[in-house]
Every structure is written in structure tokens, then in C-alpha cells.
Amino acid sequence: MTSETSTGAEAGMEESQVSSNFVADIPAAEPQPANGFETLGLSPEILKAVADSGYTTPTPIQAQGIPKVLERRDLIGIAQTGTGKTASFTLPMIEMLARGRAKARMPRSLILEPTRELAAQVAESFEKYGKYNKLSMALLIGGTSFEDQDKKLDRGVDVLIATPGRLLDHFERGKLMLSQVNILVIDEADRMLDMGFIPDVERICKLLPFTRQTLFYSATMPPEITRLTEQFLHNPARIEVARPATAASTITQELVQVPANDWAKREALRRLIREAGEITNAIVFCNRKRDVDIVAKSLQKHGFNAAPLHGDLDQSLRMKTLEGFRTGAIQLLVASDVAARGLDISSVSHVFNFDVPFHPDDYIHRIGRTGRAGRIGFAYTLVTPRDDKQVDAIEKLMKLKINRRVMSDIEVREDRGTRREERGGRGGDRRGGRDRGRRGDRFKPEKYHDHVASMEPTQVVDAPAVADAAAPVEQPVAKAPREHKPRQDQRPRHEKKHEPRREQQGHQAHGQQAKREKPHRAHQDRKNDATPVKPERHELPAFLFRPINLPKKADA
């Protein structure tokens, strides 16, 4: 199979060279440049699509990876986002899939991506590079309808691009069969590890045929990723493209020293945006998703055209936000590292790091969003005194001392509701007076009178209200003490009465009057133990005091 593939690749290369010579009117004897896509063994249809995209020279990972993929070998590609690795596996996949046809519910290739945005971007790449080949594609990501995805699967697809969770949902529902997958691509494996997708990836790999071809791409190779490659790849070719330790020379970098206060950082960000002047498109990076929402709302509140982007948003809203940012409808995109991973937006003019990234490599990745294709870019990073360790690591990696300036005139304020005493305890003082009253902040007329007396004469105050407030507080009239009644167990025994419960009095059930409640057993024992009171003589009937004449007994 390997020899047939290489022969076809050589034939395609010769055809592409002839076609290129004919178009450029170059004599056939003149050799082609060695750095073009024509030497990689791709078909004329794919070369034409690449030329339409404006690319003429392959990147290092494309030049080394595409021939290996066409040889049907497993591949480990170590390269960061932005090195062209998407085209390094989409172009040879289109070349190999163009020779067959898919069956219903049985895709022939599978691409796993960690985020929905990356999956959608890979789908766009397939549409761009495969527009001259009749290949079908399905995108399985969350936030979209199952029915629309099921319809595409029923017709049969050649390329299946999915996130691990949605792919397993379709498989468990019985709407998808993976027994005909010949090519598997696992992209951004290190991000999948960070997001907890490795168990799902292992399960998916076990569902696929053993004889498949696996292409594995990752920016780093931690031990967990190495174990995964040893388990599911067979004699892979390893291609490693060193991560750039420096940013493009067209990017102006600056560190802005601000106080270690959230409000001060947001105020500094707003000043930097205003000072920047004309901003085509800008990305504001935050380390946490909750900070993304807070910063986006703060910018919107102060009149900036900003929108958040992170993994907790609805998929339709995320796609709408990205589309608005690409078209210029949204000027400022506030995003996290995971959400902005791999986004190819070439018109970004500024990058603002609201937080210093935890890893120095992420700093290079962030500022690499601007200054692309020879354009001029600007990158500003807000730095607090507690970020010195991360800044030192960044400068050590880049071997460059980044220019610094200090914003010392920023006022430091406390955010509303951050302190417990201001929130009224745990949960916040959301209902106002109730929690404040518990802390002793009730309305006191004497304090209000002192406040009114200290006001300026020009201030208008409601006179009746002041008079009422200044008037002495009337003491409530003391009520007569309630008459003390002894409890039932303190009354004399002969006065105790065992009455039924109040709710049982007058109660009727099924037409019968409710029975009286029996006295408590303890009370009954006390009643039995009590000494009976001897009645007076005048209270007895008179016949009891008459003499009784008994008959005399007869003598014996």
C-alpha cells in the first residue's frame, strides 16, 4: 500500500509541475522551486485551492508532515498554534479521501478538537481547500441541533469534525458508526488534557478500527500525552517544530505597572484603549472566565464596543460573537486562552493582557495574535507587584528586556460588595434595610436631627419632616401588668379540669361528634391517688338519716 501511494504522489507531483509550467509560461526543462507545494505530492485540484487562498510556500511542519501522511504512516506533530498544522493534515486527508466514497452513518475520517471554535475553524479549512473535490463533511459540536447533524450523518460523510462529548452523544444514541474510520486526527492534545477530555479520547480510540492511521498534534508532550501516543500509535514519525522564543519584530511590547487592585486594573485598561487611538480589532486576554465577564461588562458600561468569549457561553452566541469580531461589528474581544486558542484572525491590531499569563509560552501565543503577515501590532500587559515572577520567566524565555512604564496616578478603589461588612454578611446586602437593621443601623431621629443641623443653609429640606425628626421621641404609655394566672399543674388538684384540645372541640367526623380527649395518664394517676373529700351532713339526703327498723329474729 505504501508503494502505490508513493507512485500516485509522484504522478500527482509531475502533473502539478506541468500544470504550473503551463500557467506560468516557463519552459518544461526549467526546474521548479524546491519550497513550493508542488513538491509535496498533492493533486492539481488541491494545489489550485491552495493558490486561491494566497499561500505559496509551505511552513516547516507542512513540508515535513504532508509527505509522511501520504505514506500512510502514523504521525506525532509537536508544534504550536499558528504554525500551519491545520493544513498539514487537511491537505493530505483531502488527497486520500478524494479516491473513495462514504457510506451512510459511516464516516471515513475523524478529527477531534478540544473546543467548538477550533472545530468550526477546521471545517472552514476543509471547505476552503476541498472546494474542487466532491467531499462531504459534518460538524458535530455542542450548542447546535441534533436533528440537523443526524440528517448529515444519514446521507454519509467523508470527513467528521467533532468535539469528544458530542461525538459520544451521537454514538450512544445509535446514530453513528465508527467501524469505517481510516484516518484519525487528534488536534491540540495538550489542551484536551487541560480540559479533562483524555478519558473520552481513549474511549473513542478503542471504538475505531485497529488498522487506522492516527495523526497526533500537540504543542507540548507531558507524560500523560506521551502515554497516550505509546498506547494508540504504531511506529509513528515524529516531527517537532520548535516553538518561537521571540515575537515578531513588528510587534511593539510594553509592560504597564499598576496597583494590585481589580478596579485600578480595569481603569488602566480603559486608559490604554483610549490612548491607543485607532483600533481595528483588539483582543483582551484574561486568565479566568469570571474575569472575562467582569471586564467585558466594565468596558460596555464605559461606552466601549466589547463582547466576552469563553466556554460557558451558548454556542450560538459564541459563533455570533466571533463572526462579529471578524467582520468588525465588535471592536474588543475579551477572551480566555482556551477560547482564543487557534483563532486565525489576521486583522487584530492590538492585544491587551489584563492578566499576566501563568506560562511564558502563552504570552508569546497571545501577542502572536497581532502583527501577522508583516502588519504592525501592539501588545500591552498590565503588571502588578505580585506578577514579577511570571514577568521574569517571560523575559528569560524571550531573552529580551521588555519596556516598562508606571501608571502611578490611578486611584485605588474597593469594588462594591467585595467586603463582607459592606455586603451585610454572607450573601450580600441585597434587600437593603433588613440586613442593615440587624447590624444596628436602624433609623434614629436624634442622629438625623444632628445631620440636618449640619447642612448648608442653601439646601432645601422638608420642614415638617425636620420638625417631626427634631421633636422628642414620645415614650410609650406603660401598660398595666397582666394578671398572673397559675399554670394548670400549679392549681389545686380539685380545680384541675382536663379539657379536650381546642382543635378537637366541635369536630365532627363522618356525622359523629368527636370523642372527648382522655386526660393524660399522669393526670389520671394523680386523680386516683388523691384523698376523697368527705361531704357535709346537710348536703346529704334526709332519708339517709332515718333509723332503720330491722325485723326481730324468732326465738329458737
Domain boundary pick from 373, 406, 439:
406
Residues whose CB is less than 8 angstroms from the CB of residue 389 and which lie 6 or more positions away in sequence, other chains included: none
Domain extent for 302: 251-406
Within this chain, do residues 397 and 262 fall inside the same structural domain, yes or no? yes
Average confidence score pLDDT of the chain:
75
Predicted local confidence at residue 496, as pLDDT: 47
pLDDT digits (tens, 9 = 90+) for 159-193: 999 999 999 999 999 889 999 999 999 998 888 88
Within this chain, do residues 105 and 193 fall inside the same structural domain, yes or no? yes
Within this chain, do residues 29 and 153 fall inside the same structural domain, yes or no? yes
Q: Is a pLDDT exceeding 50 seen at residue 321?
A: yes
Does some domain include residue 553? no
More confident residue, 242 or 52: 52
Within this chain, do residues 232 and 262 fall inside the same structural domain, yes or no? no
Predicted local confidence at residue 258, as pLDDT: 92
Does some domain include residue 306? yes
Within this chain, do residues 222 and 327 fall inside the same structural domain, yes or no? no
Q: Name the pLDDT band for 355 (thresholds 50, 70, 90).
A: very high
- Cell 509592560: give the residue: 255
The DSSP-derived string for 271-295 is HHHHHH---S-EEEEESSHHHHHHH
Within this chain, do residues 212 and 257 fall inside the same structural domain, yes or no? no
Q: Name the pLDDT band for 35 (thresholds 50, 70, 90).
A: very low
Tell me what percent of the residues of the chain surpass a pLDDT of 70.
65
Q: Mean per-residue pLDDT for 233-251? A: 80
Contact 86, 63 (CB under 8 A): no
Does some domain include residue 185? yes
Q: Is a pLDDT exceeding 80 seen at residue 49?
A: yes
Contact 163, 141 (CB under 8 A): yes
Contact 325, 281 (CB under 8 A): yes
Domain boundary pick from 176, 207, 240:
240
Does some domain include residue 43? yes
Contact 62, 68 (CB under 8 A): no
Q: Is a pLDDT exceeding 50 seen at residue 431?
A: no
- pTM recorded for the entire structure: 0.57
Within this chain, do residues 305 and 393 fall inside the same structural domain, yes or no? yes
The top-scoring range by mean pLDDT among 123-132, 481-490, 508-517 is 123-132
Within this chain, do residues 280 and 169 fall inside the same structural domain, yes or no? no
Q: Is a pLDDT exceeding 60 seen at residue 510?
A: no
CATH code assigned at 309: 3.40.50.300
Within this chain, do residues 43 and 140 fall inside the same structural domain, yes or no? yes
More confident residue, 494 or 305: 305
CB atoms within 10 A of CB 411: 9
Domain boundary pick from 406, 440, 473:
406
Does some domain include residue 313? yes
Q: Is a pLDDT exceeding 60 seen at residue 437?
A: no
Phi, psi of 213 (to 5 degrees): -105, 130
Residues whose CB is less than 8 angstroms from the CB of residue 324 and which lie 6 or more positions away in sequence, other chains included: 307, 330
How many structural domains comprise the chain? 2
Q: Is a pLDDT exceeding 80 seen at residue 486?
A: no
Predicted local confidence at residue 480, as pLDDT: 58
Does some domain include residue 363? yes
pLDDT digits (tens, 9 = 90+) for 268-283: 999 999 988 788 889 9
Within this chain, do residues 400 and 280 fall inside the same structural domain, yes or no? yes
Q: Is a pLDDT exceeding 80 seen at residue 547?
A: no
Within this chain, do residues 52 and 80 fall inside the same structural domain, yes or no? yes
Could you give the dihedral angle defined by the CA atoms of residues 134, 121, 150 and 174, in that order, rounded to the nearest 10 degrees? Answer: 110
Does some domain include residue 133? yes
Q: Name the pLDDT band for 224 (thresholds 50, 70, 90).
A: confident
Within this chain, do residues 43 and 98 fall inside the same structural domain, yes or no? yes
Largest CA distance in the chain: 175
Does some domain include residue 500? no
The top-scoring range by mean pLDDT among 76-85, 308-317, 391-400 is 391-400
Q: Name the pLDDT band for 353 (thresholds 50, 70, 90).
A: very high
More confident residue, 419 or 194: 194
Q: Is a pLDDT exceeding 80 seen at residue 533?
A: no
Predicted local confidence at residue 528, as pLDDT: 52
What DSSP element (H or E) covers 300?
helix 289-301
| C-alpha–C-alpha distance, residues 234 and 387, integer Å | 44
Q: Among the listed ranges 10-14, 283-287, 360-364, 392-396, which one has the minimum average pLDDT value?
A: 10-14
pLDDT digits (tens, 9 = 90+) for 362-414: 888 888 888 776 678 899 999 998 999 999 999 988 888 899 999 877 777 76
Cell numbers linked to 205: 480510540
Q: Is a pLDDT exceeding 80 seen at residue 17?
A: no
